[in-house]
Amino acid sequence: MRIIQITDCHLLADPAAELKGICTRERLVRVLDALREELPQAELLIVTGDLTHDERAETLQALRELLADWLPRVRVLPGNHDDRGFMRQVFGDIILPAGERNVFAEFLGNWRLIGLDTQVPGAVGGEVGLAQLDWLERQLEVSPRPTALFLHHPPVLVGSPWLDRIGLADAPALWQLLVRFPQVRVVCTGHIHQEMAVHRGGALVLSTPSTAVQFRPESESLEVDDVPPGYRILELEDDGSVRTRVMRVVAAGGPPAG
């Protein structure tokens, strides 16, 4: 089964608006065009947060229109720049409410897929929270099938002090739970606008490039990287193994580069 992850779209209501000198709408359209050409039959397209930059309902509606041909195969999670209420208004047909959180949980073939909501309203950093940890525990108890988790904030240090200060505050509590459930094979994140792959216990922790602005890895403070936008392909095998790669969309009309 093939799943696509995109993240950190940072769309703005004005289609021509720029973030750090980059038109986020144009970059996202470029990435989606590449997906349509290269991977039209993927089972799911998962967007792991910061769908918008301005937290506006009309911006989310614009995103839904851009993703129209992928619905209902789309799953969305909030990042620190999103509004949960507006997400439920615009994407209510594909969001599973869990209390105040916008999550998802489903089976796909031999796999269990779970999306967590790590947003802390008004903050840049994230948190799973006790109530959602309890919800996650119940979800993991449902089945021992291989499991992939998706969330916005990485639950590991990423080597950039400024990003590590705005990471997942309760990452230790999350790992204390996950160590009891070795079926969790992969944890897919966004937030840091760069590619990363590290192992934590039996899980592979991944981050995926933004569809918009890229951040330079291992930087002391925010530095924009000049690498192209990208997306991640996850191939989930029936035996619980994972194959994954990041594809960069080099130029408008050009082929993706792995």
Whether residue 236 is predicted with pLDDT greater than 80 in this model: the reply is yes
**Which regions of the chain does DSSP assign to beta strands (E)?**
2-6, 18-19, 22-23, 44-48, 74-77, 96-98, 101-108, 111-115, 147-150, 184-189, 196-200, 203-207, 214-215, 224-225, 230-236, 242-249, 256-257
Give the position of tokens 């995926």.
208
C-alpha distances out from residue 158 to 18, 107, 172, 180, Å? 26, 30, 15, 24
103-112 pLDDT, tens per residue? 999 999 999 9
133-168 pLDDT, tens per residue? 999 999 999 999 999 999 999 999 999 999 999 999
Mean pLDDT of 212-230: 95
Whether residue 258 is predicted with pLDDT greater than 80 in this model: the reply is no
Whether residue 251 is predicted with pLDDT greater than 70 in this model: the reply is no
Confidence band of 250 (pLDDT split at 50, 70, 90): confident
Query: What is the share, in percent, of the chain residues with pLDDT greater than 90?
Result: 96
Q: What is the pTM of this model?
A: 0.95
Q: pLDDT value at position 57?
A: 97
Query: What is the share, in percent, of the chain residues with pLDDT greater than 70?
Result: 97
Residue 65: other Cβ atoms inside 10 A: 9
46-77 pLDDT, tens per residue? 999 999 999 999 999 999 999 999 999 999 99
Mean pLDDT of 210-233: 96
**Chain centroid to CA 6: how far?**
6
**Chain centroid to CA 213: how far?**
15
Compute the distance between CA of residue 194 and CA of residue 191 in angstroms, rounded to an integer. Answer: 8
Mean pLDDT of 209-216: 97
Average pLDDT, rounded, for the chain: 95
Please state the length of the chain.
258
Domain-by-domain residue ranges, the chain? 2-257
Mean pLDDT of 21-40: 96
Q: pLDDT value at position 253?
A: 46
At the topology level, CATH places domain 2-257 in Purple Acid Phosphatase; chain A, domain 2 (3.60.21)
